[in-house]
Amino acid sequence: MEALMDSHYIKVLPFLWKGLGYTFFITIIGLIFGFALGAITGIGRLSQNKLIYGIASFYVEVVRGTPLLAQILFIYFGLPEVLGITLDKVTASIIAIAINAGAYIAEIVRGAVDSIDRGQMEAGRSIGLTKAQTMRYIIWPQAFKRMIPPLGNQFVISLKDTSLFSVIAVGEMLFQARQYYSTNFSPFQALTMVCLMYLMITVPTALILRRVERRLDV
């Protein structure tokens, strides 16, 4: 037991706990903005206005068609040069998660709303509701129920994607592990614990999502 407590498996944990805070903060804040962006874009993808549809589709295709790592580097190094601004690492990370996740959430929103029977819109209009009111009070609540499982999956994906932010020295878990084993020469132990930490989050989340999906019957 003493040997285990003195091992690198245990000694690296304080570093990983510190990184876990950054991981959760970036993921949660990024997904809040990402959901807002995705909801607007998803509705835009259903618009009959060609300009709105075109802008929304362009954003989705560009983001989904380029690697997240390239997006991170572009936001952190490219945009400041062009716009003449300075972004701190955490802010750049949140923007990257929001923009990247927003494109995928847009497709989740579009698919969920599009799956609702078109008669629901006609029923809402027939009782005097405007199109916006019908969407808000009739279509959206039903569609949101169907979004929950894929949104949970997107949370897991975005959580794992935060490991890419180590390239711009954000202090998330992978970066903290690299800092540790660069001075203690124990990459196997440190990276093993990183993987275990991610599994401790993602596996229970996946199980909860399956249970929610069964309960919602979607």
Could you give the CA distance from residue 113 to residue 110 in angstroms, rounded to a whole number?
5
Alpha-carbon torsion, ordered 86, 88, 90, 91, to 10 deg: -30
> How much is the pTM?
0.91
104-113, 128-137, 183-192, 209-218: lowest mean pLDDT where?
Answer: 209-218
CATH architecture designation of domain 2-216: Orthogonal Bundle (1.10)
101 pLDDT above the threshold of 70 = yes
Residue 121: pLDDT over 90:
no
Query: What is the tens place of the pLDDT at every residue in 54-100?
Result: 999 999 999 999 999 999 999 999 988 888 888 899 999 999 999 99
How far is it, in rounded angstroms, from Cα 190 to Cα 188? 6
Q: pLDDT confidence of 202, banded at 50, 70, 90?
A: very high
pLDDT at 158 over 60: yes
Q: For the chain, what percent of residues have pLDDT higher than 90?
A: 67
The full set of domain ranges for the chain reads: 2-216
Q: Name the H helices within the chain.
A: 2-5, 8-11, 13-44, 50-64, 68-73, 79-83, 89-115, 119-126, 131-134, 140-161, 173-184, 187-216
Backbone angles phi, psi at 170, to 5 degrees: -75, 135
Percent of residues, the chain, with pLDDT higher than 70: 96
Using CA atoms, how far apart are residues 110 and 143, in angstroms rounded to an integer? 9
